[in-house]
Amino acid sequence: MRLCLLSLLWGGSFFFNAVAVVALPVFTVVVARVAIAALLLNAALPLMGQRMPRDPKILGAFLVMGFANNAVPFSLIVWGQTQLASGAASILNAATPLFTVVFAHLLTRDERLTVPRLAGVVAGLAGVAVMMGGAAGAGSTSLLPAQLACLGAAMSYALASLWGRRFRAMGVAPVVTATGQVTASSLLLLPVLMVVDRPWTLPMPSLPVLAALLGLAVLSTAVAYLLYFRLLTSAGATNLSLVTFLVPVAAILLGVGLLGEVLLPRHLAGMALIGLGLSAIDGRPWLYLRRSASSRRGMISTKLQGRWR
């Protein structure tokens, strides 16, 4: 149940982006998201018996994490959603584990590509190609930059996930890492906001847009992070990885149901291939099928033996 709630919170970020980006420029949306979340999480830390570290090495690592896991991907996704439907953006973002597997093979020594994982990467990238190639084949490449932006966000998330492993070795609690990264990304993006968007010149947003910004910051960032790390403790990282399969579903349901978005057949075909790739990388669906087949064979064998007796 909590896993579904987390997928709804993260899938909801694409819905909130779609509402906010109609009236506000990209960096205004992103800074509102990370800055409000940073205030909430910093206020929550003492209540959870935690505090921000002062070690310069950890603070420097927060800056890198905030850049790679928040500032870059949030900005790319929001910009991509100025042209893409929220469901399509979420499907492209679901390619994050594919890039994680590839980057882990290239940049680490303990996670090498296996045959099932390689097959999963190929299937997933084929799904990405189906989504992106459909538009080009129809004679229009106008959406290509937005699609590439969403893929760039997925790559940034993948690199950030590898970088983020160092915090455990540093003894930093996961919720402190989350707080540190949104705080760092707020500091990094604030000067960009002032120069590029000049927020004091913008008209006052409508109530739905303000509600979307609060939804992004409070629900899809602060609350989602708290729920994520609670699930990480109780369910484990392997089970929690299933949320990757559910986020696009939540985003599509919200986009189609509340925004009237329409997904094309190539979007659904691409999502199916990406899902097939993720399941191959995860391995558990195939293990479940093998166990089920083995169990059925055992039952059949037992029945046959009983007949011959």
Domain boundaries, the chain: 2-308
Query: What gap in Å lies between CA 45 and CA 39, rounded to an integer?
Result: 10
**Cβ neighbours around 294 below 10 Å, total:** 10
Start-to-end C-alpha separation, the chain: 47
Query: What gap in Å lies between CA 17 and CA 177, rounded to an integer?
Result: 24
Q: Is the CB of residue 290 less than 8 Å from the CB of residue 127?
A: no
pTM of the model: 0.85
Q: Is the CB of residue 177 less than 8 Å from the CB of residue 45?
A: no
What are the backbone angles phi and psi of residue 18, rounded to the nearest 5°? -60, -35
Q: Which one, of 305, 248, 253, lies nearest residue 271 by Cα? A: 248
Write out the chain's pLDDT in tens, 309 residues.
777 888 899 999 999 999 999 999 999 999 999 999 999 999 999 999 999 999 999 999 999 999 999 999 999 999 999 999 998 898 888 888 888 888 888 888 777 777 777 888 888 888 888 877 654 444 445 888 999 999 999 999 989 988 988 888 899 998 999 999 999 999 999 999 999 999 999 999 999 999 999 999 999 999 998 888 777 666 555 555 567 777 888 888 898 888 888 877 888 888 888 888 877 776 655 565 556 556 565 555 555 555 555
Q: Is the CB of residue 19 less than 8 Å from the CB of residue 209?
A: yes
Query: What gap in Å lies between CA 250 and CA 69, rounded to an integer?
Result: 21
Buried b (16+ CB within 10 A) or exposed e, 73-110: bbbbbbbbbebbbbbbbbbbbbbbbbbbbbbbbeeeee
